């Protein structure tokens, strides 16, 4: 069994900025002696003071014993040169994201450390193999990508380059876990796990905004309330910085040879050019300046609930809405032979499968409303809905009244394929499946990374299974058919998983053949 580094093993951190200081604190709290190296003594002293202040806050909150905080600070040794790293078992670099700088730094570090010392970069985007190319022993080099703030965020991506030794990667995984982190193994590819798999969360939202699906505040509210995401994509990119988020997108797009799946947004580029960078500039998609009126999501006015509805067949995910209507006094008739829709005032209501409401209305010869995906239809405070263009005001009001039962807010979005949450979740799952297909990481590591690294409600692959692989794959198929773009191609891994699931269901129903 591979063991983590012993607590007495010294850890070197090169770069005493925000990330370096945070990583140093993590190692200190795990019991290691830490050598914190930076050429500028003032930066090292500022980092030491910041670590001390954060440890004291933990003590004040009762989350760390006073003696433990003192002991941790006593194990911190400031340094100015790579020669001071001679006795370190692990050296983690956290300097500027520039390949030449990192290569030169590790060439210098390698001259001073022992042959069995592990070398790691905290890079978020530079290929691990490229950084290791000039090393005498590239097999002991890998990525150890922490997320900011490092003492708080649970995820560490452990990235193996082409020549990284398996035992080295396993030692770092075990060490990260011993430090209280969630360690996700990955192969060095553009964006690693999180920055690659998360691209659709931003990219589809930006495209939905450009297509007029809804305004930014409404899209954010739908993804928070219905999709379970902690922050909407527009408030999140405002927090990250539109320039930073756009730069990561461009980097992944270029590194993936301009694959349209990662194409940057013209809308976001325009925001950057206008200086609307988000919180740091005072205005982005939202206005953070003093006196600004907060943006609010668009919602349908209160409407009367219908007196009766007809449930045709199995309503599937919409069953909690039917139950709520029944409890509210709505008369519910059932037609066991129907096609899985709810009939209200001569119109049909169903959950989106990726097709626009207008297409469903033509196929079924009936005005159609489609509800967007919700992770929990029983508890959601909001529903998003799109109407076919033949829906009149009376039927629209009746459907809105039904959806508002129990105090739910209703936001209407433009009738686009996949709507908002379903489209976003489908593309996240597709991207995660492609990462599995090409051996970037295992499914469990991807799901763990997206939950621990960016606070997703579930990992995208686990979420795809809970929503239904056929619905997810079908949604991507409809997106590809309607938009006619390679951006919406179905991952072979998702296609394989859907077929495997269908075969399992058939075997369970019919027995082995």
Active-site annotation holds for 157: yes
Q: Given 93, 110, 157, 312, which residue is catalytic?
A: 157
Rounded CA separation 427/475 (Å): 9
Active-site annotation holds for 122: no
Q: Which residues are bridge partners to 182 per DSSP?
A: 155
Active-site annotation holds for 455: no
CB 130 within 8 A of CB 189: no
Residue 230 DSSP label: S
Q: What are the tokens at 52?
A: 């001390």
Q: Given 124, 281, 388, 411, which residue is catalytic?
A: 124
Calculated CA dihedral for residues 405, 456, 492, 468, nearest 10 degrees: -30
Residue 495 DSSP label: H
CB 44 within 8 A of CB 76: no
Kindly report the number of other CB atoms within 10 A of residue 241's CB atom: 17
Active-site annotation holds for 478: no
Rounded CA separation 259/237 (Å): 22
Q: Match 């905004």 to its residue by tokens.
A: 209
Q: Where are the alpha helices (DSSP H) in 274-392?
A: 319-327, 357-364
Rounded CA separation 321/332 (Å): 11
Q: What are the tokens at 183?
A: 């360690």
The full 3-state SS of 29-75, as one line of letters, equals HCCCCEEEECCCHHHHHHHHHHHHHHHHHHHHCCCCCHHHHHHHHHC
Rounded CA separation 355/481 (Å): 10
Q: Given 121, 122, 195, 491, which residue is catalytic?
A: 195
Q: Given 110, 121, 145, 253, which residue is catalytic?
A: 145
Residues annotated as catalytic (active site), given as ranges = 124, 145, 157, 195
């Amino acid at each position: 069994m591979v063991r983590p580094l012993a607590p007495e093993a010294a850890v070197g951190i090169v770069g005493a900025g925000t990330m370096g200081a945070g990583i140093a604190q993590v190692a200190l709290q795990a019991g290691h002696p830490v050598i914190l190296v930076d050429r500028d003594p003032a930066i090292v002293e500022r980092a030491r003071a910041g670590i001390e202040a954060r440890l004291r806050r933990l003590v004040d909150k009762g989350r760390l014993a006073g003696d433990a905080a003192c002991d941790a600070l006593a194990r911190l040794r400031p340094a100015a040169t790579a020669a001071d790293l001679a006795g370190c078992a692990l050296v983690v670099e956290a300097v500027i994201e520039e390949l030449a700088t990192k290569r030169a730094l590790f060439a210098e570090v390698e001259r001073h450390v022992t042959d069995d010392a592990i070398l790691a970069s905290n890079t978020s985007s530079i290929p691990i193999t490229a950084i290791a190319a000039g090393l005498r022993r590239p097999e002991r080099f890998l990525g150890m990508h922490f997320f900011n703030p490092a003492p708080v965020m649970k995820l560490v991506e452990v990235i193996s380059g082409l020549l990284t030794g398996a035992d080295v990667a396993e030692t770092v995984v075990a060490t990260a876990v011993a430090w209280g982190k969630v360690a996700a193994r990955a192969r060095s590819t553009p964006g690693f796990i999180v920055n690659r798999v998360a691209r659709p969360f931003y990219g589809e939202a930006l495209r939905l905004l450009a297509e007029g699906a809804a305004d930014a505040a409404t899209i954010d509210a739908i993804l928070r309330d219905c999709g379970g995401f902690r922050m909407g994509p527009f408030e999140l990119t405002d927090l990250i910085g539109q320039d930073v988020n756009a730069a990561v997108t461009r980097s992944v797009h270029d590194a993936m040879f301009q694959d349209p799946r990662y194409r940057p947004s013209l809308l976001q580029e325009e925001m950057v050019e206008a200086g609307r960078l988000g919180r740091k500039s005072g205005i982005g998609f939202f206005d953070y300046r003093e006196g600004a009126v907060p943006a609010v999501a668009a919602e349908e006015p209160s409407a009367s609930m219908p007196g009766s509805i007809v449930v045709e067949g199995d309503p599937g995910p919409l069953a909690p809405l039917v139950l709520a209507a029944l409890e509210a006094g709505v008369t519910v008739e059932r037609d066991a032979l129907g096609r899985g829709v709810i009939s209200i005032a001569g119109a049909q209501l169903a959950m989106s499968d990726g097709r626009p409401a207008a297409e469903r209305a033509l196929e079924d010869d009936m005005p159609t409303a489609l509800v967007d995906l919700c992770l929990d239809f029983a508890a959601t405070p909001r529903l998003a809905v799109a109407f076919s263009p033949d829906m009149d005001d009376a039927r629209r009001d009746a459907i809105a009244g039904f959806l508002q039962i129990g105090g739910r807010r209703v936001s209407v979005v433009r009738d686009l394929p996949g709507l908002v949450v379903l489209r976003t979740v489908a593309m996240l799952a597709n991207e995660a499946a492609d990462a599995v297909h090409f051996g970037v990481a295992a499914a469990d590591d991807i799901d763990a990374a997206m939950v621990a690294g960016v606070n997703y409600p579930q990992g995208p692959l686990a979420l795809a299974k809970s929503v239904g692989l056929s619905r997810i794959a079908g949604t991507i198929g409809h997106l590809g058919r309607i938009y006619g773009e390679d951006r919406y191609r179905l991952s072979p891994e998702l296609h394989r998983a859907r077929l495997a699931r269908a075969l399992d269901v058939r075997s369970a129903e019919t027995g082995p053949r």
